[in-house]
Amino acid sequence: MGRKILFITTDQMRYDALGCNGGTVARTPAIDGLAANGINYRRAHNQNVICMPARATIMTGQHVASHGVWMNGVSLPENTPTVAHHLQQHNYRTAILGKAHFEPWLGSGEDFYENRMAALGERGPHRGFEHMELANHFGMGHSHYDLWLAEHHPDIDAKRYQAVTDKGQQNMAANGDTGAVQVWPTDIPKNLYHTDWVAQRTMAWLDSLSDDEDWFVWMSFPDPHHPWDPPASEKQRLDWRDVPLPELYPGSPEAAAEMLKDKPKHWMGYFDGSLWANLESPRGFKPCDMTPDQIREINAYTHIENELIDEACAQVFNYLQRRGWDADTDIIFTTDHGELQGDYGLLFKGAYHVDSLMRLPLIWRPAPSANIDPAEVSAPVGHLDLAQTFCQIAGIEEPDWVEGQPLPKSETEAANQRRERVLTEWESEHGPVSLNLQSIYRDQWVCSRYGASSLYEGTEGELYNLAEDPGSRINRWDDPGCASLKSDLIADLDDHLPEARQPRLPRLAPV
């Protein structure tokens, strides 16, 4: 008999969102408690900085090059073995409650089971999960949460933020105080909001299990991903006027130009709206138009959503205590990717391999019965390592298709594993605009090599010394004094990045 596993993810949460990681605004005592009693990974990276590729890595324990989900809208093939399958084959009960996004959520239900299962009255099985109840951050009308809310609370459902306009464009509407894009406090009671719903459905499914069963439950919160639409009643938690501007917020177009001048051109192109290479933000949105107050308001709602997540987690942690399961339950908390939140004058996410998007909160609270000491680990780890960690917790042999290592439980174990690097990839195509880059983090340096694309010749890149420049402000790519180091990092990247899957999987929907 293995230990029980509660795997918690958020969507688009920064490393510094949590108090245990230096956050000073949102109150996150429940998650901070996991860190105090467990292992806090100080240098965890995703293998891709957007949803679908990152979640495919979590499911498969593989680099993006191997599993092939190279951008949003590319579906992980249904016959792909996942860690959920593997645990299920070893007598684990498996469920996911909340956001899945292994298939495009802008695709039709005819094409993607995730988008039709609720309408069919089904809850799986699918992709190794015997039970799925899905929710998303946009009102799309096809998740279990969407249909439940529409049936039981149609008046509230009618007020939800819609992902796309009648013209098929990403919605830019706002109803906050500052006109900030996609700020949309909703007239919904907290207990009906999707964050609490995910926690409630998690506990409801756990209620169906007996004490002697092993289980793997993925509790997947859709927030703090945009739109920033928490219950309007929660606005009182934080006055946006009191929220500090980010340290990396330039403050003016002139300061942004200075900050971005040595970065590849798609950075400034996104800021001033001259180059749209990023479907991860609404097409009509220009970051240069944002005001400081709009940044404050967006970040205030982000902090509020993070507090609601923490409180929902606390509900589930208390439930485990009441069931007498906490002592034998491992809890792992992370996110899929970060959010720019005003850093560099930008918002949302995209092909920007900096800490704002790559660096993750990652906390493992081992079951108390395992007698593993609390620790902080600074060695590089990633999503790649989660599948093997789940197998180790379960006491089962890892499948032969995984590419990571079990998460180290101490700095000593990390050194014994020879953890030196973590890799992150990006590839995208939006109409005629293509872009790809591959990054390596090693020895507090981040090196990003750009491939040939519609935007770049393949000689461009970024190189940052995070020990001296933690904000990745100074691009050392063309610094002659760094030429040898840059060559060494690129060679290391080539040595450890798998060959890309062939043929390339098709992109089947926008996102």
Q: Is residue 110 part of a domain?
A: yes
Q: What angle do CA 290, 292, 295 make, to 5 degrees?
A: 70
Q: Other CB atoms closer than 10 Å to residue 241's CB: what's the count?
A: 11
Work out the percent of the chain whose per-residue pLDDT is above 70: 99
Q: What angle do CA 57, 58, 60 make, to 5 degrees?
A: 65
Distance CA 313, CA 300 (A): 20
Q: Other CB atoms closer than 10 Å to residue 232's CB: what's the count?
A: 14
pLDDT in tens, 273-303: 999 887 788 888 999 999 999 999 999 999 9
Distance CA 317, CA 221 (A): 15
Distance CA 302, CA 229 (A): 9
Structural domains counted in the chain = 1
Q: Is residue 463 part of a domain?
A: no
pLDDT in tens, 242-271: 999 999 999 999 999 999 999 999 999 999
Q: Is the pLDDT of residue 431 over 90?
A: no
Q: Is residue 28 part of a domain?
A: yes
Q: Is residue 272 part of a domain?
A: no
Distance CA 133, CA 148 (A): 11
Tokens standing for residue 415:
């050194």
pLDDT grade for 171, boundaries at 50, 70 and 90: confident
Q: Which residue range is the domain that position 195 belongs to?
A: 4-251+291-420
SS3 435: strand
SS3 41: strand
Domain CATH code at residue 138: 3.40.720.10
Q: Is the pTM of this model over 0.85?
A: yes
Tokens standing for residue 482:
């760094």
* Contact assessment for residue 375 and residue 411, using Cβ atoms and an 8 Å cutoff: yes
φ, ψ dihedrals at 107, nearest 5°: -85, 165
Instruction: Report how far apart, in Å, the C-alpha atoms of 329 and of each of 6, 332, 367, 446 are.
Output: 7, 10, 5, 35
Q: Is residue 20 part of a domain?
A: yes
* Contact assessment for residue 422 and residue 381, using Cβ atoms and an 8 Å cutoff: yes
Strand partners, 439: 424, 448
Q: Is residue 276 part of a domain?
A: no
pLDDT in tens, 344-362: 999 999 999 999 999 999 9
Q: Is the dihedral of CA 344, 347, 350, 354 positive or negative?
A: positive
Q: Is residue 279 part of a domain?
A: no
Type of residue found at 377: V
Q: Is residue 267 part of a domain?
A: no
CA neighbor of 66 nearest in space, from 435, 467, 379, 423: 423
Type of residue found at 273: G
